[in-house]
C-alpha cells in the first residue's frame, strides 16, 4: 500500500526535476546567447575603435605629409586635423554605446569621404601655391632683369653725364672762342673814320646854317668825317652813334635812357644821337645835331661809334 502511494510522488518529483533541468538548460542557453552577443559587441567595438584609430592616424599622416612651407596651406591642414579629431571623439562616443555601432560605422564612412574632400582642397591649394610660386619666380626673374637694366642705364647715364660735361666744357670753350672771333670780326668790320671838321652851328632866319664857336650863339654842332674803306663791309646801311661830352665830363643827351654797349670796355655808355648812312666804301659825310640844352664854354670831346666800337674821337673848343 505504501509502495503504491509513493509512485505518484516519485513521478511528480521526476517531472519537477525535469522541469527544473529544462529551466536551467533554457537559462543557460539564454545566458550563453547573451554572453556571446556581449562578446561579439565588445569585439565589434574593439574592431571599430582600432579601425577608427588606424584610419585617423593614416589621415593625420596624409595631412602632415601634405604640409609645405606655406602659411596659408598649413593653416588649412591644421583646421582639417582639428575637424578630424572632433569627428573621432564623436565616433568614439557612438562606439561606447553598443546601440550606436551602426551609426558609428556611418560616421566613419562619412569621415573617409570628408578626408577625400580635404585632400581635394589641399591639392587645389597646392596648385594655386605652385602657380603663385611660378608667378613669383617669373617676377623675380623680371625684377633681376629690371635691376640689371637699371644698373646698366645708371652706368650709361653716368657715362652720358661725363660726356655731357666734357661736351659742355668744349661748347663753353668753343663759345668763348666763337665770341672772341665774332668780336674780332665785328671790331674789324667797324667802319673807321677821321673827323676832318667840327664846328658849332647857328641856324639863320633863312634856314641856312652859319659857323660859330661861341657858346652863346651855338644851337648845334656839325661833324664832318671821312669814312675809310673796309673790305669786310659791302654796301650796307650803317648806324653810327655820336657822343658829345661837355667840359664837366657829362654826355650831352636828350634821353638818359639811350645807351649803347661799348664793346671795348663792356660798359653801357650814354650817347647823344644816332644816324644812318648808306655806306659804299670810302666817302666824306657831314651831319648836324641840335640839342635842346645850351652848350657851355670849354673843351668838348666828340666821339663816333660803329657796331659798339669807338671809331673816331676829337676835341672841340667852345668859346
Residue 297 has pLDDT above 70, yes or no: yes
Of 221, 306, 229, residue with least CA distance to 262: 306
Question: Would you state the pLDDT for residue 267?
Answer: 85
What integer best gives the mean pLDDT of the chain?
A: 80
Residue 59 has pLDDT above 80, yes or no: no
Distance CA 209, CA 164 (A): 65
From the centroid of its chain, how far is CA 48? 67
Is the distance from CB of 244 to CB of 272 less than 8 angstroms?
Answer: yes
Query: What's domain 191-318's superfamily in CATH?
Result: Immunoglobulins (2.60.40.10)
Confidence band, pLDDT 50/70/90 cuts, at residue 44: low
Cell of 268: 653801357
Residue 281 has pLDDT above 70, yes or no: yes
Question: Would you state the pLDDT for residue 6?
Answer: 65
Residue 2 has pLDDT above 80, yes or no: no
Which range, 18-27, 40-49, 130-139, 296-305, is most confident? Answer: 296-305
Confidence band, pLDDT 50/70/90 cuts, at residue 165: confident
Residue 90 has pLDDT above 60, yes or no: yes
Cell of 81: 586635423
Distance CA 210, CA 199 (A): 10
Half-sphere exposure of 57 (CA within 13 A, CB side): 6
Helices vs. strands in the chain: H and E counts, helices first? 3, 10
Listed in order, the ranges of the chain carrying CATH 2.60.40.10 are 191-318
Question: Would you state the pLDDT for residue 57?
Answer: 75
Flag the least confident range among 54-63, 138-147, 197-206. 54-63
pLDDT in tens, 250-272: 988 887 778 877 887 888 888 98
Question: Would you state the pLDDT for residue 40?
Answer: 57
pLDDT in tens, 175-234: 777 766 666 666 777 888 888 889 999 888 887 888 999 999 998 999 998 888 888 887
Residue 302 has pLDDT above 90, yes or no: yes
pLDDT in tens, 104-127: 777 777 777 777 777 777 777 777
Three-state SS for 191? coil
Distance CA 287, CA 209 (A): 12
Three-state SS for 278? strand
Question: Would you state the pLDDT for residue 240?
Answer: 92
Cell of 73: 596651406
Residue 93 has pLDDT above 80, yes or no: no
Question: Would you state the pLDDT for residue 207?
Answer: 78
Amino acid at each position: 500500500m505504501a509502495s503504491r502511494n509513493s509512485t505518484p510522488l516519485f513521478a511528480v518529483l521526476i517531472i519537477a526535476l525535469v522541469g527544473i533541468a529544462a529551466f536551467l538548460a533554457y537559462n543557460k542557453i539564454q545566458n550563453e546567447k547573451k554572453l556571446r552577443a556581449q562578446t561579439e559587441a565588445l569585439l565589434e567595438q574593439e574592431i571599430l575603435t582600432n579601425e577608427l584609430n588606424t584610419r585617423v592616424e593614416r589621415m593625420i599622416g596624409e595631412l602632415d605629409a601634405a604640409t609645405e612651407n606655406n602659411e596659408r596651406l598649413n593653416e588649412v591642414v591644421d583646421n582639417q586635423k582639428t575637424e578630424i579629431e572632433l569627428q573621432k571623439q564623436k565616433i568614439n562616443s557612438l562606439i561606447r554605446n553598443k546601440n550606436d555601432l551602426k551609426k558609428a560605422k556611418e560616421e566613419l564612412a562619412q569621415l573617409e569621404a570628408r578626408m577625400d574632400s580635404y585632400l581635394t582642397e589641399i591639392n587645389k591649394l597646392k596648385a594655386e601655391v605652385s602657380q603663385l610660386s611660378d608667378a613669383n619666380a617669373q617676377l623675380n626673374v623680371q625684377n633681376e632683369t629690371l635691376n640689371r637694366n637699371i644698373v646698366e642705364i645708371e652706368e650709361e647715364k653716368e657715362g652720358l653725364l661725363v660726356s655731357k660735361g666734357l661736351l659742355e666744357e668744349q661748347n663753353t670753350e668753343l663759345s668763348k672762342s666763337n665770341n672772341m672771333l665774332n668780336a674780332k670780326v665785328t671790331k674789324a668790320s667797324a667802319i673807321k673814320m677821321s673827323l676832318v671838321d667840327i664846328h658849332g652851328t647857328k641856324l639863320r632866319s633863312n634856314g641856312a646854317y652859319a659857323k660859330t664857336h661861341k657858346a652863346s650863339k651855338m644851337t648845334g654842332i656839325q661833324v664832318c668825317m671821312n669814312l675809310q674803306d673796309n673790305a669786310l663791309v659791302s654796301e650796307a646801311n650803317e648806324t653810327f652813334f655820336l657822343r658829345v661830352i661837355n667840359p664837366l665830363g657829362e654826355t650831352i643827351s636828350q634821353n638818359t635812357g639811350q645807351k649803347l654797349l661799348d664793346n671795348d670796355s663792356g660798359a653801357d655808355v650814354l650817347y647823344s644821337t644816332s644816324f644812318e648812312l648808306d655806306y659804299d666804301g670810302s666817302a666824306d659825310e657831314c651831319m648836324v645835331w641840335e640839342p635842346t640844352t645850351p652848350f657851355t664854354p670849354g673843351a668838348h670831346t666828340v666821339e663816333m661809334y660803329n657796331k659798339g666800337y669807338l671809331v673816331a674821337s676829337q676835341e672841340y673848343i667852345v668859346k
